[in-house]
């Protein structure tokens, strides 16, 4: 019977006696499992790259990214989407997260919502999905009905679909134009996919959004030239970036930032030339 279980639902022999371990033994055991996550993502890079190239092309035509998930997977989508405006200066409607149970499920678990395929379709289609959008379903098991409902609805209107799963040959991967499989295996605590599976999903979403934004010209060198300096820390970072990339002093950087309103504009004003740009 064990062989029929999804890989992420199987019992991990390396942590079979974790309840008898000392605190340090537990920590070492969990950290050993976490080391396997990067290797699982490494093995999936050839699946991730074509998706990034496709999204970048479609976003240049006005397309958007939609993350769809339930539980931990949904929360990870929200985290990644929420970070894109302050990091890359894009509008909040360019990278959007749709989660089973809505915003309330971000802080209060609402596990039953993932079984409602119609809700997934309904929640996604509120955004008037079109052929330039890319809908990325996120689910460790790859079988959440809410996510499947959203992905199927997206395909019907010509949008591209991708799946980020931690089991092979899932219902979601069979729907997706760009299936991504991170083989994280059994969790330290049986079935607790918020652990390795969630970590792998976070790494993959980081890669997708970051690499797409680089290709769209929102990074110069390895600096965030479109960040929104909305607090003291970010303003200091913006001024430091301007100084580094132009060689000017802080006073000139600060004046240019205030006059132009953003890092890219300040750098271009000082250097007298364009920076960044889509690749």
DSSP assignment of 64-125, as one string?
Answer: -EEEEESHHHHHHHHHHHHHHHHHH---TTTEEEEETT-GGGGTS--GGGGG-HHHHHHHHH
Nearest alpha-carbon partner for 203 in 57, 82, 40: 40
Q: At what angle do helices 196-215 and 71-88 cross, to 10 degrees?
A: 30
Catalytic-labelled residue, pool 114, 121, 187, 268: 114
For this structure, is 114 an active site residue?
yes
Where do we find the tokens 């409902």? 149
Tokens of 6: 């999804």
Can you tell me whether residue 246 is helix, strand or coil?
helix
Can you tell me whether residue 159 is helix, strand or coil?
coil
Count CA within 13 A, CB hemisphere, residue 12.
Answer: 23
For this structure, is 250 an active site residue?
no
Catalytic-labelled residue, pool 57, 83, 152, 254: 83
Residue 178 β-bridge partners: 162
Cβ atoms within 10 Å, residue 111: 11
Count CA within 13 A, CB hemisphere, residue 249.
Answer: 1
Q: How far is CA 54 from CA 40, 64, 219, in A?
A: 22, 11, 19
Catalytic site residues?
A: 83, 114
């Amino acid at each position: 019977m064990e062989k029929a279980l999804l890989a992420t639902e199987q019992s991990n022999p390396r942590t079979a006696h974790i309840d008898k371990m000392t605190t340090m033994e537990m920590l070492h055991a969990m950290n050993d499992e976490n080391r396997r996550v990067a290797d699982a993502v490494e093995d999936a890079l050839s699946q991730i790259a074509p998706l990034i190239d496709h999204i970048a092309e479609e976003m240049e035509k006005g397309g958007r990214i939609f993350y769809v998930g339930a539980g931990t997977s949904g929360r990870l989508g929200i985290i990644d989407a929420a970070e894109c405006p302050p990091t890359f200066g894009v509008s909040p409607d360019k990278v959007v997260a749709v989660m089973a149970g809505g915003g309330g499920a971000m802080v209060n678990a609402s596990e039953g919502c993932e079984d409602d395929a119609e809700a997934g379709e309904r929640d996604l289609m509120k955004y008037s999905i079109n052929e330039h959008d890319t809908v990325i379903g996120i689910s460790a098991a790859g079988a959440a009905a809410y996510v499947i409902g959203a992905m199927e609805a997206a395909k019907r209107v010509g949008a591209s679909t991708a799946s980020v799963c931690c089991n092979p040959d899932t219902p979601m991967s069979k729907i997706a134009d760009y299936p991504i499989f991170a083989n994280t295996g059994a969790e330290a605590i049986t079935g607790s996919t918020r652990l390795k599976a969630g970590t792998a999903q976070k790494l993959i979403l980081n890669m997708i959004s970051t690499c797409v934004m680089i290709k769209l010209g929102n990074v110069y060198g390895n600096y965030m030239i479109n960040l929104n300096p909305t607090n003291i820390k970010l303003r200091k970072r913006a001024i430091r970036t301007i100084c580094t990339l132009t060689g000017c002093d802080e006073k000139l950087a600060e004046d240019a930032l205030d006059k132009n309103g953003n890092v890219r504009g300040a750098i271009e004003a000082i250097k007298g030339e364009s920076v960044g740009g889509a690749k």
